[in-house]
Structure 1
Amino acid sequence: MSNVNIKRAIENIRSGTSVYTPIVETVVNAIQAIESAKGITNGLVEIIVKRDQQMDLDGTVPEVDGFEVVDNGIGFTDLNRDSFDTLYSAHKISEGGKGFGRFTCLKYFENLEVDSTFEKGGKLFDRCFEMGKENEIIINESIADSQKDSTGSKIKLIKLKRTKFPDKKLKTMARILVERLLPYFVSEDRIPPTIVLREEDESEVVVLNEYVKTQGQIQEIKSASSEYFLDGVDEQKRFVGRVFKFYSPRSQTSKVSLVAHRREVTSISLHKYIPEFIEEFFDREINGEEIHDKNFTIKVYVFGNYLDDNVSLERGGFEFQKENDALYGISQVDIERNAAELARVAVDSEVQARYEKKTRKVNEYVSEKAPWHTGMLADVDLTDMPYNATDEQIETRLQKIKYEREVQVRAEVKKILEKGEINDLKDKATDIVRRISGATKNDLAHYIALRRSVIDLFEKSLQLEADGSYSSEGVVHDIIFPRKGDSDVTPFDDHNLWLIDERLNFTEYLSSDLPLKGRQDRPDLLAYDKRVVFRGENEATNPVTIFEFKKPQRDDFVNPSSSEDPVQQVIRYVRRLRSGDFKTPQGREILISENTPFYGFVVCDLAKKVRSWLEEEKDFKPMPDRLGYFKWHENLNLYIEVIGWDKVLKDASMRNRIFFHKLGIE
């Protein structure tokens, strides 16, 4: 008589099991019962599918509601019965028994019933009982003389709990069971009994053994199957990986399965270790003039005492860790990664072809969209790159490699500097500098490629719209520098002032289209360069640059009645800045001295009307290329240029052309 909290035992079953687990457990017990019987040469296990009596509304096959597993094995002898009634029984420990498998039945089914015939003292008896759900494992037991002529058992898994069975078709269920039980079918030292999956009315019958023996849907690739050894904490452990082809697979993903006591315990997709396995493979068959491609996946079954000794109670996993196991020394990842290499051997030419295809895709991405990575491709390892990687995945992977290399270089530099040994410096400096230079080139190429895009966008903004109009000055303004912002929120790498003047790349403070504190006037841009010149008593003399932008093709600002004379606006801003009563939007003092130089830039289209106005009324001098004008206001220490949008585009393109040429993105 047992006294077990059965409900708690079932609730504590860990993940890793599925609704197929109790079926497999029951079939394995049936196989063991046949192997225990002496003289049985016609061993038979029948898995009978029980379905709902009602047809589905759509006329399809009714849902699966339960199973019966029938065998002609030794039956529930007193020893087997007592083992069933004992939690964690050691009765079948030599065969990998954990004494717990029956509890998974009640995790997924409402009831488990046993109807068995066994032999005792030369007579046959029938033993029937149910599995309890509270404290007694065996309930409602009865024993009677049997009218049957042989031993055997019928295990009933009655009524699914809470969920529908995931599959309806018998062939689908058969394929899954074959995968889980394949170690029994391919055992080299034991011949398995015949295992049959059938409908209750025998309208459809599938012999699972035939998947391997006659149908040829599962074939071992013996040239790839092999043993391998891994170093444990105390000794090396031996593993055997057997590689199989699964034709017309239900699951189109190749896998590694770890086996304990001839039962599949875990299964993981091979592409976790070798990305090229994410798609199925094909064998080409030629029959006369007809050519057929037969699809298949690869599955590696791994056997070993280490797996047998460390399988979990529920057979849903193992006691060792998945990664970096300090206690056992060998992790699940270690075992699976080595097994994956056996799978590679099985389809090496196909995997290599896929790797080359992946490499070409990465090279095309770098060549066409990310030339800044060109210098890194020569020695980059793309093994872990997803097979059908998107542009985002490729860029992310390359950026990760770049970061890892930078971290490594910095660590090596730090190590050399801390040791301070000149010999180390001489030996390693050349290599480290080369790698630093490579990373710098990568960043520079990226930056130049972005400049190419900015120039293209800028050129587009100067073209006519579909309705014949031009972009507003706001559009071109935002390309050069975002409006309503300043350098406190717009750092130097977020603006494109280099389009106008490379000296404006780095500034101490920028204000864009914001009114100066205390006034309503607001210049398009104010730029305060870093403090690079000091005079007198070390007081800073900050060059100040002021910009005014006018919409392409606009010329009305030259009219006498206009209040938007850009030259006068620049002069007015300079005078007010020199008065010293303005602060930045954050309240900082704008440092202006008597000798502070001012630079003014007016950017507009130089139409004929504008040119005449500049030469005749404003006394500006034309630049040699006639695409701009300049003037020096000595009293204000102000130099002003009026330049055309075309000049901005032309000069920016010219300054960067050599870089674009070197990068191959002209």
Structure 2
Amino acid sequence: MITKNTNLFVVSNVTNLRSRVNKLYIPKTKSLLPLFEIVSNSIHAIFEKREIEDNYQGKIIIKLIRNGDESTLKELDFIDKYPVKSFEVSDNGIGLNRENFISFQEFDSEKKAKIGGKGIGRLVCLKLFSKMVVESIYTENGKFYSRNFEYKKNIKEGFDKYENPESEKTITGTTVILENFEIEYQKKAPKDLLDIARQIITHFQLYFIEKVIPEIIIRNQNDEEVNLLNLFKSEFESEILDDTFNIGNYEFKVYITKSFNSLSHKILYCAHERTVKDEGLSKYIEDLRYIIKDNDSLLGYHYQVFVLSKLLNEKVNEERTNFHFSDDEEGDSESDDDITLARIRRETLLKVEELLSSFLSKTRKEKVEQYIPIIQSEFPNYASVIEFNRDKVEKIPAGLTPKELDVKLYEIESEWKLEVKIEGIKLLDEKKDITSLEDYKKLYDKFWSEFNEVGKTDLARYVVHRRSVIDMLDKLIKWDSNQRFYNEDIIHSLFFPIKEDKDTVIHEKQNLWLLDERLTFNNLLASDKTFNQIRQLNSNSTDRIDLIIRQEEIFDKATLFSEDKFPNDSFTIVEFKKPYRNDYVLGDPKKDPVRQVRKYINEIIDKEIKSEGRSIEADKTTPFYCYIIADITSTLEYILREEMFTKMPDNIGYFRFYTSDELKYKAYVEVIPFKKVIKNAKERNKVLFDKLNIS
């Protein structure tokens, strides 16, 4: 290493530069990052000189050096098709004086950290270029010096050809040449002069927005050039949206720009014109999740929301990596003496909604219009949710599947119900002096309107549930994918959860309305258990029954019970058989469903039965309603004829009353094929289905 130390400054660099560069990872898509680093250094050098020199005008010249003969390139009218092999960046800033050169030598420089840098810019440069050639003029103790050197990654210390003589030049400034692009990065780098200019503006757009950027000229070898300030004014400035908001005594500026290089929409909290902390916008505004393309353009962009304030300048930490807010910095304090990041974010988001209202309104309207057909056909129960919560519905994500859409709408519906409930409690608790009917109407109209709509939503949901249950049963009585019929346990569970008792099943979980609307109000004793497993029934029988349901006095007691005595319970027995089963045998205790049901009745009559410790009187006066759900195949039809069953008027099902004096019980038994269950359920619910257009 050659050193010429005319001002007694000793060059040292003890870190293994080559090792640091090799460990560094720079994506191929970041091919202009070294150029940005050098331009950033020039900007900071100009800022430093502004502080000590009045009426100073900073200027940066960027020269693109392309592959090819220099003299030939100068004569060509269009040279943008030739790849850029080197960049030359010149500025008239403060130069590499002692302090700046020490910072240059130090990795993770403290000086760079204080102005928002990482202190590793030269490592980035050497990762993508073979070397940096530096020539800098600076002043010290009234004299001008030239600091010249090459910085290479193939030398351990990095420095080569170092010279530091006095200079005859009397204007400070620095020229850096990034020499010889690494080929894999060169291939990914833009060639077009205007494209490179636009990317520089995008990278430093906050400087441009705040009007603190010095004049920057980018120039080709044929002297074609672009003034970045003029380009910013013509192409970028008109697209920038801005506004302010206040929290306490502090004003906050919000700028929204379009970035064609960023990978997502972001909020960028800034201090001293540098981004300190960023957050994804999609977390807070769902419609700012995907790239935006205008008028079918192939080139898309993301919004970047810059937030600036004197408060943020005061609160930034020394490393410029975060802000010093209170311990509860994510809290939602309303105190002007304890402003939190959460509060700044909330106000910023309100401004984003306001500034981007045109775009967001259009996007949300188009999104909801795409969802409406799905909601109308599959989820009509959400009609009132959409009507009364349109703003929330518009903010759900785009591209949801029907199932995901259902979940999102359900969340909105649940929140709405809670809000209406709270409002109702509030209105009822508050003592109002109502002096006229008109006052009363004004106070309560809105609440009762939404309260009624909530009720309609619940009813609509129940109707849709019924339609879905009928459709599911229709599917279950057909062949599965293996051309087999579903097991009766699966079908049983659709009507009522299998192996449950009344302590674990609420009436909303059962679908016995498929058989008879009255069964909705019955009380379950047992489901698909042996009698001796039913703790409500004190029985030792090991026979199984699908359902035993005891009817409470809540319904039909005027018909079922006499008026001059305590009402007896009635029982409902439901037995399910596999669709199209055809191996029934008359009199067989395991293959004759009619005998099975009658045997179950005898078990109830003959044994002492208790429900929750109280005896239940079940005798010849106790009505039994029995449903055998089975397809009428030839073997079952033979049993029904032998048992003297009567065909129903529609010729689909069968029924019989067992009322003989020789029997110990009175029972009404229906044998209903699955298709009749579906037919009857559809007919009973038709008016509801029609109302919701889901027939």
TM over 0.5: yes
Aligned: 1:598 with 2:619:
no
Corresponding residue of 2:507: 492
1:585-624 pair list within 5 angstroms: 591-594=616-619, 595-607=621-633, 610-611=636-637, 613-615=639-641, 617-624=642-649
Match of 1:435 in 2: 450
Contact kept? 2:138, 2:146, Cα under 8 Å: yes
Instruction: Confirm whether residue 336 of structure 1 aligns to residue 351 of structure 2.
Output: no
Report whether the alignment pairs 1:657 with 2:692: no
Q: Label 1:589 to 1:654 Cα distance change in 2 as closer, same or farther (>3 A).
A: same
What are the equivalent positions in structure 2 for 1:522-561 lying under 5 Å apart?
522-532=544-554, 541-559=568-586
Please give the per-residue CA displacement for 1:50-85, whole angstroms capped at 9, x wherever unaligned: xxxxxxxxxxxxxxxxx9997542235578789999
Q: Is the 8 A contact 1:118 1:125 kept in 2?
A: yes
Amino acid across the alignment from 2:238: I
Tell me the residue number matched to 2:365.
Answer: 356
Equivalent residue, structure 2, for 1:184: 207
Matching residue of 1:628: 654
For the residue of structure 1 that corresponds to 2:356, the secondary structure is helix
| Residues 323, 332 of structure 1: 8 Å contact kept | no
Q: Is 2:451 aligned against 1:446?
A: no
Evaluate the alpha carbon distance shift between residue 489 and residue 28 of structure 1 in structure 2; reply closer, same or farther with a 3 A threshold. farther
Match of 2:543 among 521, 544, 548: 521
Distance 1:665 1:488, change over 3 A: same
Give the partner amino acid of 1:497: L
Cα distance between partner residues in 1 of 2:89 and 2:416: 59
Deviation at 1:665, TM superposition (A): 0.3
The residue type equivalent to 2:434 in the other structure is N
The percent of aligned pairs where both chains have the same amino acid is: 25
Q: Distance in 1 between matches of 2:257 and 2:481?
A: 63
Distance in 2 (CA, whole Å) between partners of 1:120 and 1:255 is: 43
SS in 2 for 1:524: strand
Q: CA deviation at 1:305?
A: 3.5
- Deviation track 1:585-616 (CA, whole Å, cap 9, x = no partner) reads xx97773444543222222233566456435x
Contact 1:409 1:435 in 2 (8 A): yes
The 3 A distance-change label for structure 1 pair 336 and 618 is same
Distance change (3 Å), C-alpha of 1:546 and 1:260: same
Q: 1:220 aligns with which of 237, 244, 247?
A: 237
> Any idea what SS the aligned residue of 1:328 has?
coil
Instruction: Quickly say closer, same or farther: Cα 1:579–1:228, change in 2 above 3 A.
Output: same
What residue is the counterpart of 1:416 in the other structure? 427
Say if 1:573 and 1:590 are closer, same or farther in 2 by CA, change over 3 A.
farther
Give the SS at the match of 1:514: strand
Q: What is the aligned partner in structure 1 of residue 388 from structure 2?
A: 379
Deviations 1:306-350 (A, max 9, x none): 4444434333344454663531378331453254246526xx3x5
Q: CA deviation at 1:459?
A: 2.2
Question: Secondary structure of the residue that 2:529 maps to in structure 1?
Answer: coil
Query: In the alignment, does 2:332 pair up with 1:324?
Result: yes
Cα separation, 2, equivalents of 1:77 and 1:257: 33
2:172 matched residue in structure 1: 151
Report the CA distance shift for 1:210/1:531 in structure 2 as closer, same or farther (over 3 A). Answer: farther
Structure 2 CA distance for aligned equivalents of residues 339 and 412 of structure 1: 29
Partner of 2:152 in structure 1?
none
TM-score, L = length of structure 2: 0.69
Task: Rate the CA distance shift 1:624–1:311 in 2: closer, same or farther, 3 A.
Answer: same
SS in 1 for 2:656: strand
Match of 1:123 among 135, 140, 143: 143
| 8 Å CA contact 2:514, 2:678 repeated in 1 | yes
Shift of 1:439: 1.3
The residue number in structure 1 matching 2:516 is: 501
Between stretches 505-514 and 655-664, larger displacement belongs to 505-514
Contact 1:31/1:193 (CA < 8 Å) preserved in 2?
no
Question: 2:676 — aligned with what?
Answer: 647
Q: How far off is 1:575 after superposition?
A: 1.9
Please tell me whether the aligned partners of residues 312 and 323 of structure 2 are also in contact (alpha carbons under 8 angstroms): yes
Deviation at 1:519, TM superposition (A): 2.1
Q: Distance in 2 between matches of 1:118 and 1:419?
A: 77
Structure 1 residue 545 displacement after superposition:
1.5
The answer for the alignment partner of 2:599 in structure 1 is 572
Deviation at 1:637, TM superposition (A): 3.8
Gaps of 5+ in 1: 1-17, 50-66, 130-141, 158-164, 285-290
Cα 1:505–1:245 change in 2 (3 A) is same
The Cα of 1:227 is off from its aligned counterpart by 3.4
Query: Within 2, Cα distance between the matches of 1:176 and 1:583?
Result: 84
Q: Distance in 2 between matches of 1:187 and 1:45?
A: 21
How much has 1:664 moved relative to structure 2?
0.8
Unaligned 5+ runs, structure 2: 1-29, 66-86, 127-131, 150-161, 179-184, 533-539
Structure-1 separation of matches of 2:139 and 2:483: 100
Which one-letter code corresponds to 1:445 in the other structure?
A: A
Give distance in 1, aligned partners of 2:480 and 2:216: 80
Kindly state the Cα deviation for residue 372 of structure 1 after the two structures are TM-superposed.
Answer: 0.6
Q: Which amino acid aligns with 2:671?
A: I
Deviation at 1:431, TM superposition (A): 3.6
**Amino acid of the structure 2 residue aligned with 1:520:** T
| Paired letter, 2:243 | E
TM-score by length of 1: 0.71
Q: Which residue of 2 aligns with 1:473?
A: 488
Cα distance, 1:415–1:39 mapped onto 2, change above 3 Å: closer
C-alpha distance after superposition, 1:72-103 (max 9, x if no partner): 42235578789999xxx99x9xxxx9846567
Task: Report the Cα offset of residue 661 of structure 1.
Answer: 1.0
**1:241-272 Cα distance to aligned partner (Å, 9 max, x none):** 3x5444xx233544444443333334445555
